[in-house]
Chains A and B, each alone.
Chain A
Amino acid sequence: MYRIQIDHNKCIGCRYCELACSLNHLTTALNPKKARIRVLKEEGRFFPVISGPYTDAACNIKVDLIIGDKVYDFCDICRASCPHKDIFKDPVNNTPIQCDFCGIDAPGPSCVRWCPSGALKLVEIPSCY
C-alpha cells in the first residue's frame, strides 16, 4: 500500500504541490484555490494538508490544540470539508473536492512529483500498518 508521507520540517512553503494538483485536475489551468492539497502557514512553519472526504454535518464540538504556548483551533488542520469549512470546496461552484491519489502508476501523485524540497514523499508500507 502506498502512502504520502509529509515531513513539515522540510516544507519551504513554495506551494508547488497546490499548483501541480490543480494542473492535473483542471487539465488546462492552474489554480491553487482548487487544489486538493493546501499548505497551512503558522508561525513560519508550513503544514501541507491533503483533503479528505466530505461530511454533511459539521462537528458540534470545538477542539483546541496546544502547541508550545499557543492555542490552535483543531478545525484548521482537519482534512474534511464540512458545512463549516470551505477550504476544500471549489470556490466557484462550492463542490467539495477530495484527493484521489492521482497518477499512482508512475511517477506518483503530481504533488509528490513536483515537490522540490522532499517534504512530500511516496512510501510503500505493508497494508497491515
Chain B
Amino acid sequence: MFGYQGKFLRVDLNKEKTNIEEIDPELYLNFLGGRGLGVKIFSSEVSPDVAPLSPENKIVIATGLLTGTGTSSGCICSIVTKSSLTKTIISAQGKLFFGAELKASGYDGIIIEGKAKEPSFLLIKDQKVQILPAKYLSETNTDQTETLIRSTINDPWVARETRILSIGPAGEKLFPLAALVTEGFLVQNSVGIGAVFGSKNLKAIVVRGTKDVVIHDKELFFKAVVNSIDEFSQSESSKAFSDLSTYVVFEEFLNNDILSASYFTQSPNHISLSQIKSYWQRHRGCFSCPVSCLKAKENGAFLPDMDAFWALGPLCGIYDIETILNAYDICIKKGLDPVETGLTLSCLMVLRERGFLEKEGLKIKPGFGDNEAFLNILTSIEKEPLLGKGALGVCQYFDKPDLFIGVKARSAPFDVQSYWPLGLQYATSTCGATHLNGFIFSKGITKTTEDIVSQVKLVQDKTAVLEALGVCPYALGSFSLEGLLSMLQGATGLILTVEDLLKIGETIYQLEHEFNQNVGIGLEADNLPKRWLFPNFQSLLKDYHQLRGWQ
C-alpha cells in the first residue's frame, strides 16, 4: 500500500455515526482512485432512481491515487454524486489543497449518507471525526464561513493550514445552480452538487491531517518529479498555459466565432486579452503543481476562468471587466456556479427581449448590458427561487424550452456551430454541456478537425484517468501520460502502460454512461440544441456511439 491510505471514512448523518472502512486493494488496481473509485463506489451503492435531494442520495469524495504525493499537478479530489441540475452522475474536481489534506488525514475518501437533523459541519482531524452543529453558519457566505471556522482554531498556523470545503446560501436554499467552494476558489464541474450538500444539511467539511503518505521508491520518485519540473520549465506550450491559463485559446476562439454574445444572438463587441490581463496581479498554484495557472488579484481573490468570464460578461451583454469580476466574486461568495448563473440570467434577458416576461408578474427584468441591474439581481439571488432552477428551468417556466441552449439541462458557454469536436464533447459528456470532463485547452486546438470522433473519445478517456490518478486535467497540456507513469511507479510501485491507463479511463466513462442510462438519460439525450446542429453531427454521433460500443 504505497501512495494511498487504503481506507475510506463513512459518515452517516442520520445516526451521526462515523465508521472507517478498508477498501479492497483490487478496486485500486482496477479504478486507481479519484473519479474512478468514486464512480465505482457511488454506482454500486446508490440506486439510479434516487432523487438527487433525498437522504438516500450519497456523496463520495475520493482522492486520486497520486493526490498529495507530490506528483506534478497531483492535487485533485473527485466529488461524485447525482447532480440536482442534470440528474446525471457528476464528478467534480476539487483543486487547491483539500484533496491532499484529506489524504494526509489518513483517508482516501469520504462517503456521506443520510441527512443531518440540523445544519452541521464535518470536522476531520486525523482519527478524530466529529459532526458539529453549524447553525451559526447558516446563510453565511463561503468566505465568512471559512473565516468563522478558522477563528475557532487557536494556533494561527494550524488555522491557516486547515482546509475547508463549503457551500454558500445558494446551496442551503437547494438551488440546482449551487456549487462548492474551497478557499475562495470554485470547485470545478460542481454545479448541482451544492444543493445535494444543502439537502443533507451539511454546510462544510473541515479537514486537517498530519499523517504520512508512504511511497514506494524514493530515488525513482524524486528523480521523476525533478524531471517533470525540468520538462515543464523547458516546454513552450506549458509556459503559454502557465502565463494565460484557460485564456490561452481566447483569441483563437474569438477569431473562430466560438465566443458569441447576448445569449448566442450576436457577435461580441471588442474585448481584448490585454484588457483582461491587466487585472491579473498574482499567480497561484495548487498543491504540488508547478503550472500555477490560477490568477488572482492583489489581495489573493481568484479571478474567473475563461468560461466563467464569458458567461458572466459578453453572454449577458456586459463588457465592463470590473462588473464581470464583481459578479464572479458574488457567485463565489454565494456558492453559485458562475457559468450556469451567467447563462441563466442571459436566458432571462433573451426572454425579456422577445417580450415573454410581460405577461408574468416577475419583478426582475434584466436587459442585456444593464450592469447595475445585473449586479443587483446577483446580490439578492437567493430570494429568487425561479432563477435558482437554472436556464432550462427558467425556459420551462415561461413555456419556451426551445430557447434553451445546452445539453442534459446544463447550459453551454461556447458556441460550437463552427467547432465540431467541442460540439461532440458537449453532446456526449456524461454530465451535460461542459468541456471540463473532456476537453483540454491548448494553442492551435481549433485546427484539429481530422478524425474528430476518436480524438474526442481519447481526450474524454484521458481526462477520466487523470482524475482517477488525482492529476489536474489542465496539466495534460504540460505533461505527457508517459511522464506520469514513472511518477506512478515511484509513488505506488504500480507498473502500467499508457494503454492500461486509457483502458481504465474508458471503463470509468462506461460506468458513468451505464448509470445515466439506468436513470433514463440514455443515448437519445446525447444531442445538441436545434440551432447548433451542424451538417454531419448525426453521423459523427453515430460513429462515436459505435466506437464506444453503445447501441
A binding-site residues for B, Cβ under 8 Å: 12-16, 19-20, 23-24, 26-34, 38, 40-45, 73, 76, 85-87, 91-92, 110, 113-114, 116-117
Nearest A residue (CB) for B75: A14
The digit string for B156-177, where 1 denotes a CB below 8 A from any CB of A, is 1110110000000000000000
A40 partner residues in chain B, CB cutoff 8 A: 157, 160
Q: Does B542 contact A (CB under 8 A)?
A: no
A18 to B334, CA, bound (A): 33
Q: Does B70 contact A (CB under 8 A)?
A: yes
Q: Does B297 contact A (CB under 8 A)?
A: yes
Other contacts beyond A28-B214, A33-B161, A43-B300: 4, CB < 8 A: A13-B284, A14-B288, A14-B289, A76-B156
In B294-324, the 8 Å CB interface with A consists of 296-301
A44 to B68, CA, bound (A): 22
In B220-237, the 8 Å CB interface with A consists of 221-222, 225-226, 229, 232-233
A12 touching B70, Cβ below 8 Å: no
B292 touching A29, Cβ below 8 Å: no
Name the prevailing secondary structure of the B interface residues: loop
**Nearest CB in chain B: distance from A48 CB, A:** 13
B212 touching A29, Cβ below 8 Å: yes
A114 partner residues in chain B, CB cutoff 8 A: 225-226, 229
B212 touching A117, Cβ below 8 Å: no
A116 touching B218, Cβ below 8 Å: no
Nearest A residue (CB) for B230: A116
B215 touching A38, Cβ below 8 Å: no
B296 partner residues in chain A, CB cutoff 8 A: 44
B285 touching A117, Cβ below 8 Å: yes
A33 to B160, CA, bound (A): 13
* Cβ-neighbour of B285 out of A12, A33, A85 (below 8 A): A12
* Cβ-neighbour of A31 out of B157, B210, B232, B287 (below 8 A): B210
Q: Does B213 contact A (CB under 8 A)?
A: yes
B69 touching A30, Cβ below 8 Å: yes
6 closest A-B pairs by CB: A44-B300, A116-B290, A14-B285, A29-B212, A12-B285, A91-B210
A76 partner residues in chain B, CB cutoff 8 A: 156-157
Q: Does B282 contact A (CB under 8 A)?
A: yes
**Nearest CB in chain A: distance from B455 CB, A:** 30
**Nearest CB in chain B: distance from A107 CB, A:** 8
A16 partner residues in chain B, CB cutoff 8 A: 70, 229, 288, 290
**Nearest CB in chain A: distance from B492 CB, A:** 13
Q: Does B26 contact A (CB under 8 A)?
A: no
B160 touching A30, Cβ below 8 Å: no
A29 to B104, CA, bound (A): 11
B210 partner residues in chain A, CB cutoff 8 A: 31, 33-34, 91-92
The digit string for B460-492, where 1 denotes a CB below 8 A from any CB of A, is 000000000000000000000000000000000
Q: Does B286 contact A (CB under 8 A)?
A: yes
- Count A/B pairs, Cβ under 8 Å: 100
B218 touching A13, Cβ below 8 Å: no
Nearest B residue (CB) for A87: B157
A10 to B49, CA, bound (A): 50
A41 partner residues in chain B, CB cutoff 8 A: 160
B214 touching A29, Cβ below 8 Å: yes
Name the prevailing secondary structure of the A interface residues: mixed
Chain B interface, number of residues (Cβ within 8 angstroms): 42
B214 touching A23, Cβ below 8 Å: no
A71 to B370, CA, bound (A): 40
Q: Does B283 contact A (CB under 8 A)?
A: yes
Q: Does B155 contact A (CB under 8 A)?
A: yes
* Cβ-neighbour of A116 out of B229, B287, B298, B301 (below 8 A): B229
A117 to B289, CA, bound (A): 10
Nearest B residue (CB) for A45: B300
A117 partner residues in chain B, CB cutoff 8 A: 283, 285, 290, 292
A27 touching B218, Cβ below 8 Å: yes
**Would you give 12 A-B contacts (Cβ < 8 Å), ordered by A?**
A12-B284, A26-B212, A29-B212, A31-B104, A34-B210, A42-B160, A44-B284, A73-B156, A76-B157, A85-B157, A114-B226, A117-B292
A87 to B69, CA, bound (A): 21
Interface-central residue, A23, A42, A92, by most chain B CB under 10 Å: A23
**Nearest CB in chain B: distance from A67 CB, A:** 13
Q: Does B545 contact A (CB under 8 A)?
A: no
Q: Does B211 contact A (CB under 8 A)?
A: yes
Nearest A residue (CB) for B101: A32
B226 touching A30, Cβ below 8 Å: no
B212 partner residues in chain A, CB cutoff 8 A: 26, 29-31, 34
A19 to B71, CA, bound (A): 10
In B229-262, the 8 Å CB interface with A consists of 229, 232-233
* Cβ-neighbour of B213 out of A29, A45, A73, A116 (below 8 A): A29
A28 touching B218, Cβ below 8 Å: yes
A23 to B233, CA, bound (A): 22
A116 partner residues in chain B, CB cutoff 8 A: 229, 232-233, 285, 290, 292
Nearest B residue (CB) for A29: B212
Nearest A residue (CB) for B209: A33
A33-B104 contact, Cβ under 8 Å, with A12-B283, A26-B212: yes
B225 touching A30, Cβ below 8 Å: no
**Nearest CB in chain B: distance from A93 CB, A:** 12
Nearest A residue (CB) for B160: A41
Nearest B residue (CB) for A15: B287
B284 partner residues in chain A, CB cutoff 8 A: 12-13, 44
A117 to B452, CA, bound (A): 36
B283 partner residues in chain A, CB cutoff 8 A: 12, 117
**Nearest CB in chain A: distance from B469 CB, A:** 16
B290 partner residues in chain A, CB cutoff 8 A: 14, 16, 116-117
A113 to B228, CA, bound (A): 12
A31 partner residues in chain B, CB cutoff 8 A: 104, 210-213
Nearest A residue (CB) for B126: A91
**Nearest CB in chain A: distance from B225 CB, A:** 7
**Nearest CB in chain B: distance from A42 CB, A:** 8
A43 partner residues in chain B, CB cutoff 8 A: 299-300
**Nearest CB in chain A: distance from B191 CB, A:** 26
* Cβ-neighbour of B70 out of A23, A73, A87, A91 (below 8 A): A23
A33 partner residues in chain B, CB cutoff 8 A: 104, 161, 209-210
